[in-house]
């Protein structure tokens, strides 16, 4: 398989997952704010930090309210990591490799992109925004399902999945870093009755609430949620699950260079060797940083080994 096309598919996987994650974050934040008393609404700012765009945001926007933040995340012209731009990259990368994927998937991608470029603008009302984002999440899931059910699970497929799971693991650590820092401060003070619903929102942003309840069977508490989202081996939106998938996929790729594989197993060890339940405050943020750095190493190793790019 040509290295260029493998790279296109890898980035397609990453961007599409990123688009879905942005949509989930925004919807869940909107929900959460409805439940919080007005004094506690700090809800939107963390999204800018989660997506790693604080500096650009401050430069572009004067106020940090829901309106400006959502505009920034969804379609601001100058934000190259807006949802709109992300979908465009997902489409462009798939376009070059479209002969390798089932035709329906290209058509779904195209339809999603066209719909988004039409709807994502300042005319999008709050209510319609929610419907639109929910639809987008379903579209992404539909593409994943079509691929899973109709495409040969060959290397082309593997590279899409590698991109998707690497991106997903990265996004989980970002959500936990930002939200966890707010919710698990260094000094254990009582956050009151709203702590629980805020952790629920973290779970919901990763569609993990229902599965958490089934498998953890305890009230929603910060330490249990952390453990679930970092270490659970069965929930598809936990970091460990993503790492297990990555390990499996990378082992099946050609070549002798095992840097990517070592990077992934190092991440697994890091998670297994850390008492994640006890993390809070600065420590938690630092740990998420370490995970992110190691994920970036894995990305570099993959690009170097199979695409002949990176370093």
Partner 1 sequence: MNLDDYQPKEFYDELIGKGGRPRVASRAVWKYLKSLDENELGERRAACDLAALVAGITFRVYFEDTGVDRAMPFDLIPRVIALREWQGIEAGLKQRVKALNCFIDDLYNDQEIIRDGVFPAELLANSENFQEQCRGISPPLGIWAHVCGSDLVRDSDGTMYVLEDNLRIPSGVSYMLENRQVMKRVFPELFEDSGIQPVDDYPSQLYDALASLAPSPADYPSVVVLTPGIYNSAYFEHAYLAQQMGASLVEGRDLVVDSSDQVFMRTISGLEPVDVIYRRVDDAFIDPEAFREDSMLGVPGLMRAWRAGNVALANAPGAGVADDKVVYAYVPEIIRYYLDEAPLLDNVPTWKCQSPDEMAYVIDHLDELVVKPANESGGYGMLIGPRSTKKEREQFARLITKNPRNYIAQPTLALSTCPTFVHNGVAPRHIDLRPFVLSGLETYVTNGGLTRVALKAGSLVVNSSQGGGSKDTWIVDTEAS
Residues at the site binding partner 1, with contacts judged by CB under 8 A: 1-4, 6, 91, 95-96, 99, 103, 110, 113-114, 155, 253-255, 306-308
User: Is 8 or 82 the residue whose CB approaches partner 1 more closely?
Assistant: 8
**Integer angstrom CA distances of residue 276 from 26, 129, 138, 285:** 26, 35, 32, 12
Q: Provide, rounded to whole angstroms, the least separation between the CB of residue 306 and partner 1.
A: 4
User: Is 18 or 155 the residue whose CB approaches partner 1 more closely?
Assistant: 155
Q: Provide, rounded to whole angstroms, the least separation between the CB of residue 207 and partner 1.
A: 30
Find the length of the chain. Answer: 311
Q: Provide, rounded to whole angstroms, the least separation between the CB of residue 91 and partner 1.
A: 8
Q: Provide, rounded to whole angstroms, the least separation between the CB of residue 99 and partner 1.
A: 5
Residues in Cβ contact with 19 at an 8 Å cutoff, skipping those fewer than 6 apart: 83, 86, 87, 90, 136, 140
Q: Provide, rounded to whole angstroms, the least separation between the CB of residue 249 and partner 1.
A: 13
Residues in Cβ contact with 162 at an 8 Å cutoff, skipping those fewer than 6 apart: 10, 13, 246, 249, 250, 302
User: Is 2 or 54 the residue whose CB approaches partner 1 more closely?
Assistant: 2
User: Is 3 or 54 the residue whose CB approaches partner 1 more closely?
Assistant: 3
Q: What are residue 150's phi and psi, to 5 degrees?
A: -130, -10
**Integer angstrom CA distances of residue 291 from 130, 236, 239, 243, 245:** 31, 18, 10, 11, 16
User: Is 52 or 310 the residue whose CB approaches partner 1 more closely?
Assistant: 310
Q: In degrees, to the nearest 5, what angle opens at C-alpha 311 toward C-alphas 273 and 97? A: 100
């Amino acid at each position: 398989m040509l290295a260029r096309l493998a790279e296109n598919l890898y980035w397609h996987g990453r961007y599409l997952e990123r688009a879905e994650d942005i949509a989930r974050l925004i919807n869940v934040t909107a929900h959460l704010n409805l439940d919080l008393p007005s004094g506690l609404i700090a809800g939107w700012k963390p999204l800018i930090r989660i997506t790693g765009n604080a500096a650009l945001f401050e430069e572009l926007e004067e106020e940090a309210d829901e309106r400006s933040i959502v505009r920034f995340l969804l379609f601001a012209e100058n934000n190259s990591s807006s949802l709109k731009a992300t979908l465009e990259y997902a489409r462009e990368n798939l376009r070059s490799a479209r002969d390798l994927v089932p035709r329906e998937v290209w058509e779904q991608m195209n339809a999603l992109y066209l719909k988004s470029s039409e709807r994502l603008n300042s005319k999008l009302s709050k209510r319609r925004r929610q419907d639109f984002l929910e639809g987008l999440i379903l579209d992404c899931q539909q593409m994943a399902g079509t691929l899973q059910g109709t495409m040969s699970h060959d290397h082309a497929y593997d590279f899409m999945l590698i991109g998707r799971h690497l991106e997903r693991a990265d996004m989980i650590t970002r959500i936990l870093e930002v939200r966890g820092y707010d919710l698990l401060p260094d000094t254990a003070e009582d956050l009151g009755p709203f702590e629980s619903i805020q952790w629920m929102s973290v779970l919901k942003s990763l569609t993990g609430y229902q599965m958490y309840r089934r498998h953890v069977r305890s009230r929603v508490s910060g330490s249990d949620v952390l453990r679930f989202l970092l270490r659970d081996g069965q929930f598809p939106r936990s970091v460990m699950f993503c790492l297990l998938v990555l390990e499996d996929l990378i082992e099946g790729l050609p070549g002798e260079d095992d840097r990517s594989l070592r990077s992934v197993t190092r991440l697994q060890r890091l998670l297994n060797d850390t008492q994640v339940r006890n993390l809070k405050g600065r420590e938690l943020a630092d740990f998420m940083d370490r995970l992110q750095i190691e994920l970036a190493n894995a990305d570099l190793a993959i690009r170097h080994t199979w695409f002949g790019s990176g370093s």
